[in-house]
Amino acid sequence: MTNDQLTQAIGNFTSIAQSMTEADLNRPWDWKGYEEGLRFIFFRTYEGLQELAARLETARLASGRPLTTAQRILAQFHAAYLDLQAILLGVTGEQFEQPPAQGEWPVREALAHIVQADRGFFASLCYGLERLRTGDGRPEEMSEEYWNAFWAGQFFKDISEEGTPAEIQAYHQALHARILGDFQDITDAELGSPIRYWEGEPMTVEFRLHRFDSHMRQHTIQIEKTLAAIGAAPGEAKILLRMIYRALAGVEGGLLGEDGIGLDQRNSLAAEINSWTDEMRSLLAKS
């Protein structure tokens, strides 16, 4: 996704908000008569994002360029990705490595598995689409040579085993952006086309697109359960941030294929969120 002013504003907000305690959330803050403490900034941010997402959808419909089916599926996948990022907020290096029980995966292994699966889904779908679009008669099954050429210079094994949490997440972010970018132009006519991967039979393009989302959700739940088991369940501030990330996904997903739409509205909301972040930072700095 584009790293625009709104995404940056949410990042700035997150950097302050993720470590807030319940006492911090209860600090006085008033907005037009709503005297519900600093936690209300989270809800104003959420409301602003939800309003913007609705307006962007209306604008796209009015322009005659609504989301395609493939873009809607990718938007669902992006929502799963941002939900995972919200779950991982504030996870320490020690928590990243700690298994919930003997023989069970720590967060590192679960996250690495998500990334490896995304790599496999991505390469197999790219191969199948190339075969479909070129009609070059290549075999249905992707060869090892194709796999190696596809990932040339983009190694992940060492990062997954020895990299820092930030390095793994940076690799995943770049891969995620590539998936969204490369598959935005899939047509409705192509969705029913068969693509072969590891299963015993070919599966449709539509199935393979949805698999990105559902597989990530499966292991996000695993990570969430792991964090709870090791005593790292999220507090209220992180739960509220997860809500905000879901709303941000609604905005960013709505921009797929039309990332210039609603730019003034997006920048205006970004400025407002930055203002609230500055207020929050100032209030938290007071004893």
Q: Do 226 and 104 contact (CB within 8 A), yes or no? A: yes
120 within 8 A of 199, measured Cβ to Cβ: no
Three-state SS for the chain is: CCCCHHHHHHHHHHHHHCCCCHHHHCCCCEECCEECCCHHHHHHHHHHHHHHHHHHHHHHHHHCCCCCHHHHHHHHHHHHHHHHHHHHCCCCHHHHHCCCCCCCCCHHHHHHHHHHHHHHHHHHHHHHHHHHHHCCCCCCCCCHHHHHHHCCCCCCHHHHHHCCHHHHHHHHHHHHHHHHHHHCCCCHHHCCCEECCCCCCCEEHHHHHHHHHHHHHHHHHHHHHHHHHCCCCCCHHHHHHHHHHHHHHHHHHCCCCCCCCCHHHHHHHHHHHHHHHHHHHHHHHCC
107-126 residues labelled b (16+ CB within 10 A) or e (exposed): bbbbbbbbbebbbbbbbbbb
**Domain total of the chain:** 1
Residues across the chain:
287
Mean pLDDT by 10 residues, the chain (287 residues): 85 97 95 94 98 97 95 98 98 96 96 97 96 93 92 87 94 97 97 92 96 98 98 97 98 95 96 97 88
Could you tell me the sign of the dihedral formed by the alpha carbons of 176, 182, 187, 189, in that order? negative
Assess contact for 186 and 70: CB atoms under 8 A. yes
The pLDDT value recorded for residue 3 is: 67
Which of 61, 48, 36 minimizes the C-alpha distance to 267? 48
Interatomic CA distance for residues 252 and 3, integer angstroms: 10
**In this predicted structure, what is the pLDDT of residue 1?**
53
- Tens of pLDDT, residues 203-251: 999 999 999 999 999 999 999 999 999 999 999 999 999 999 999 999 9
Q: Give residues with Cβ within 8 angstroms of 233, minimum separation 6.
A: 227
What does the pLDDT read at residue 286?
Answer: 86
Q: Are 125 and 183 in contact (CB under 8 A)?
A: yes
Q: Give, in degrees to the nearest 5, the angle at Cα 78 between 234 and 129.
A: 145
Is residue 128 a contact partner of residue 193, using CB atoms and an 8 Å limit?
Answer: yes
What is the span of the domain harbouring residue 146? 5-285
Q: What is the pLDDT of residues 142-167, one digit of tens each?
A: 999 999 999 987 789 889 999 999 99
CATH number of the CATH domain containing 21: 1.20.120.450
Tally Cβ neighbours within 10 Å of residue 71. 22
